[in-house]
Amino acid sequence: MPQLRQPRPLNAAAGSAGETPSVDVIDSSYLESLLGYNARRATLTVIEVFLETMAPYQLRPVDFSVLSLIAHNPGITSRQLCTTLGILPPNLVGMVNTLEKRELISRQPHPRDGRATGLHLTQSGEKLMRDAEATAAELEAGVAARLSPSELRTLIRLLKKIYQPA
Amino acid sequence: MPQLRQPRPLNAAAGSAGETPSVDVIDSSYLESLLGYNARRATLTVIEVFLETMAPYQLRPVDFSVLSLIAHNPGITSRQLCTTLGILPPNLVGMVNTLEKRELISRQPHPRDGRATGLHLTQSGEKLMRDAEATAAELEAGVAARLSPSELRTLIRLLKKIYQPA
DNA sequence: TATTGTTATACTCTATAACTATA
DNA sequence: TATAGTTATAGAGTATAACAATA
C-alpha cells in the first residue's frame, strides 16, 4: 500500500543517470484531472454502497433498474427495457426469468402485438419496490452526504449533459 | 425502440380493471433522479468515446491509467499500481506482460526490495503516452463540449467528493 | 421482410486460492 | 510471519449469431 504521509527518501524519484528510481508516494494528480477517471471511480463507489445497502432485497443495480421501470411503466416489454437501459436482449432473458421465479413480476400477453410480452409487478413485487425505492433514497443521501442538496442537483444535471448531449 | 414524440394511444397505461396496459413512451424520470444511475450512464458514455478515440493507440482505459501512472511515477511497483487503481494483483499480471511485449514498458529490479519490480516507460512508451495524453485532453473537451470550463471543474470536484469522502 | 423473444456460445472483466521468492 | 509477484481457475458481465413466432 502506498504510504501517504511519510517524507520521500533521498533516492526516491531521483532520476539521475545510473540510478534506478522508486517511489514511495504515488502521484495520481494527472489521472484525477480527467473526467473519465473521476466518473468511473465515483460510479464504482456508488455501486459498492448500493450492493451493501440493497443486500436485504437481493437486488443488483440492474435488477433495481428493471423493476423500477416496470413499476413506473406497467406493461413495458423486454425490448423496451433493453433499449432504455442499454442491455442486450439475450442478457435480459435470464434476469426476467429470475424475477418471475421470485414472483416479483408476471408476464402478460401484449394487447396489440402477439410477439411481445407485457411485464407487470406482482403484489409482492410492488411491496418490495416500495421498500427498495425508499432505501435507495436513503442510500443516495448517505453517498452524497458531503454534498449540499444544491450540489447534488448540480452534479446530476452535469452528468446528464454528458450522456444526454442532445 | 420506444417512440419518443408520438401521442399516447387511448389504451396505453390505462390501468382500468380487466385491461392489459401497455406503454408507448417510457417514463424513466425516477431512475434519472438517482445519482447512481446518472453516474453509470455518464461513465459508460465517456468509456465508449475513449475506446473509439484511443483505438489508434490500442489502449483501453485501464491500460492508459497504468501507463500514465508509470509515466508520472517511474519505478512504481505492480503492487502500488493495484492499490492506486483498485485492480487485483492477479488481474494486473497479464496487462503488464502485454505492455512489456509491446515494448512500451520495461521491468527493472527494485533498488531496495528484492521481491518487487520497478516499472518504467521505454522510449517508445514515452512517445506513445505523450501522444495519448494529448489525445485524451481533446477527448475530454469533446465529451464535455456542452459544459463550460467552469462546469467541468465543478463536475470533477463533486465527483471527487463522492469517492474521496475523507 | 422486419421485429420480439429466445438459445447457445464466446469473450472480457473481476474475484479467490495457493504457490515462490524475498523481507 | 508477512509481502510482491505469479499461476490457475471460477464467476459475473457483455457480445454476436441464429432460430421460431408474429408483424
Render pLDDT for B63-96 as a digit per residue (tens, 0 to 9): 999 999 999 999 999 999 999 999 999 999 999 9
Grid cell at residue B94: 497479464
User: Which residues of chain A lie closer than 8 angstroms to B14, CB-CB?
Assistant: none
* All cell numbers assigned to A60: 443488483
The better pLDDT of the pair B2, B114 is held by B114
Q: What is the pLDDT of residue B65?
A: 98
Instruction: Write the CA distances from B50 to A36, A80, B22, B136, integer angstroms.
Output: 8, 27, 37, 8
Is a pLDDT exceeding 60 seen at residue A24? yes
Backbone angles phi, psi at A44, to 5 degrees: -60, -35
**R_g of chain A computed on alpha carbons:** 23
Q: Do A111 and B19 touch (CB under 8 A)?
A: yes
In chain A, pLDDT over 90 holds for what percent of residues? Answer: 84
Given pLDDT bands bounded at 50, 70 and 90, which one contains residue A12? very low
Nearest to B86 by CA among A43, A23, A13: A43
Q: Among A142-156, B13-27, B97-111, which is the least confidently predicted range?
A: B13-27
For the domain spanning A29-163, the CATH number is: 1.10.10.10
C-alpha cell at A10: 533521498
Where is average pLDDT lowest: A104-108, A147-151, B20-24? B20-24
**Joined grid coordinates for residue A116:** 411481445
Cell of B120: 518504467
Instruction: Please judge whether A15 and B86 are an interchain contact, meaning their C-beta atoms are less than 8 angstroms apart.
Output: no
Regarding pTM above 0.85, the answer is: yes
Q: What is the pLDDT of residue B143?
A: 93
Question: What are the residue ranges spanned by the domains of chain B?
Answer: 29-163
Q: What is the pLDDT of residue A11?
A: 37
Instruction: State the smallest CA–CA distance between residue A102 and chain B in angstroms.
Output: 22
Question: pLDDT at position A45, please?
Answer: 95
pLDDT at B140 over 60: yes
> For residue B2, what pLDDT band results from cuts at 50, 70 and 90?
very low
Chain B positions touching A41 (Cβ under 8 A) are 86, 159, 163
A85 touches strand D (CB under 7 A): no
Exposure class string for A134-159: b at 16+ Cβ within 10 A, else e: ebbeebbeebbeebeeeebebbbebb
Task: List bases in chain D with any atom under 7 Å of a protein Cβ.
Answer: 3-9, 13-18, 21-23
| Least-confidence region, from A86-90, A147-151, B4-8 | B4-8
Residue A75 CA distance to nucleotide D21 C1' (Å): 20
Q: Do B118 and A20 touch (CB under 8 A)?
A: yes
pLDDT at residue A18, rounded to an integer: 53
Q: How far apart are CA A64 and CA B37, in angstroms?
A: 10
